[in-house]
Amino acid sequence: LCAFVAPSQAQTYPTRGITMIVPFAAGGPTDVISRIVTAHMAQTLGQSIVIENVVGAGGTTATARAARAANDGYTLITGHMGTHAASVPLYPKLAYHPEKDFEPIALLAGTPILILARKDFPPKDLKEFVTYVKANAEKVNAAHAGVGSVSHVSCELLHAILDIKPVGVPFNGTGPAMNALVAGQVDYMCDQIVNAVPQINAGTIKAYAIATAERNPSLPNVPTTTEAGLPAFQAQAWNAMFAPKGTSPAIVASLNAAAVKALEDETVRKRLLELGSVIPGPKDRTPEALATLVKNEIAKWTPVLKPAS
């Protein structure tokens, strides 16, 4: 008879449902990307993955909670360029450190940034937008998803280039911010493409430009910032999956494999591409590549961003 060997935790993982914390409201880019990828991962892992939207403080409230969660593979978080990089210089008392408190799992998507406005905002194109917001900097407002969110940091960059300081209107995510933009309650927003494609295509908002070197196939008629006359404004964010520090390497490997499988699935890819995301290539999908991205992004944003007052 063979000796009985008890299966390790990693061999049996997961034996119950997993919670994926999304640090912003439902319907925004982080939520949408998480739902697309985790729906496929749940099939691979044979367990449900329940999205929990935990909002506040530009995503840092939820990220602090994820950092303190049990490191057993059952609580994960989708973080992004804001929660896992820009928050470091912006929040001197940040209750977590993106590198020290998390195990990177996998990069899920790159997300180009667009300059968007309510449908009846007067400027017709980006050149007019620049002239208009400079002339009316005290009257216009920019919606965002809280200090340190991608939408906040991206418009901070835009405002620094234009040398203006318009009023910011914070929301719990750019899902609700987009609803306010569609309703004409706020003037403009610098948002990740995922949120914008359906609204631009429905004609409910205006898109002045996409802040990347090339146009995006999902929005072929939206010019790049270079084409539209503002080449200095270049911005692309990213969304990625993390587990609390100390999660076992076997669990991280199992989650990474499930995420990679999702990113290779034709239906998942089609959905992400329809929404304008950039799907990471094979060498960018490893936990090590994500660790390097986080390190580099913190180094990039730290000298650029000042603590929020």
Q: Which stretch binds ligand MLT (CB under 6 A): 120-128, 134-142, 173-181, 301-309?
A: 173-181
CA dihedral 160→164→169→173, nearest 10 degrees, is -20
HSE, side-chain direction, 13 A CA sphere, residue 112: 30
Give the DSSP letter string of 25-48.
Answer: -TTSHHHHHHHHHHHHHHHHHTS-
287 binds ligand MLT (CB under 6 A): no
Nearer to ligand MLT, 173 or 287 (CB): 173
Q: Does 151 bind ligand MLT (CB under 6 A)?
A: yes
Would you say 24 or 129 has its CB closer to ligand MLT? 24
- Is 250 strand, coil or helix? helix
Q: Which of 18, 150, 158, 289 binds ligand MLT (CB under 6 A)?
A: 150
Nearest 5 degrees, angle CA 236-CA 76-CA 37? 55
From start to end of 54-181, where are the E strands? Answer: 75-80, 102-118, 141-144, 167-170
Nearest alpha-carbon partner for 273 in 204, 217, 215: 217
SS (H, E, C) 155-218: HHHHHHHHCCCCEEEECCCHHHHHHHHHCCCCCEEEEEHHHHHHHHHHCCEEEEEECCCCCCCC
| Window 104-143: contact mask with ligand MLT (x via CB under 6 A) | ----------------------------------------
- The reply to whether 276 sits near ligand MLT by the rule CB under 6 A is no
Residue with smaller CB distance to ligand MLT, 177 or 251 = 177
* 3-class state of residue 108 by DSSP: strand
Q: Of the listed pieces 1-9, 20-28, 204-212, 294-302, which binds ligand MLT according to CB under 6 A?
A: 20-28
**Chosen residue from 14, 73, 82, 166 binding ligand MLT by CB under 6 A:** 82
Query: Which residue in 79, 89, 110, 175 binds ligand MLT (CB under 6 A)?
Result: 175
What counts of helices (H) and strands (E) characterise the chain?
Answer: 11, 9
Q: CB 179 → ligand MLT: shortest distance, Å?
A: 11
CA distance 109 to 195: 13
Q: 148 or 287, CB closer to ligand MLT?
A: 148
Q: Is residue 174 involved in binding ligand MLT (CB under 6 A)?
A: yes
79 is a contact residue toward ligand MLT (CB under 6 A)? no
Minimum gap (Å) between residue 155 Cβ and ligand MLT:
9
Q: Residue 18 or residue 25: which is nearer to ligand MLT going by CB?
A: 25
The answer to the question of residue 24 lying near ligand MLT (CB under 6 A) is yes
Contacts to ligand MLT by CB under 6 A: 24-25, 28-31, 82, 145, 149-151, 173-175, 191-192
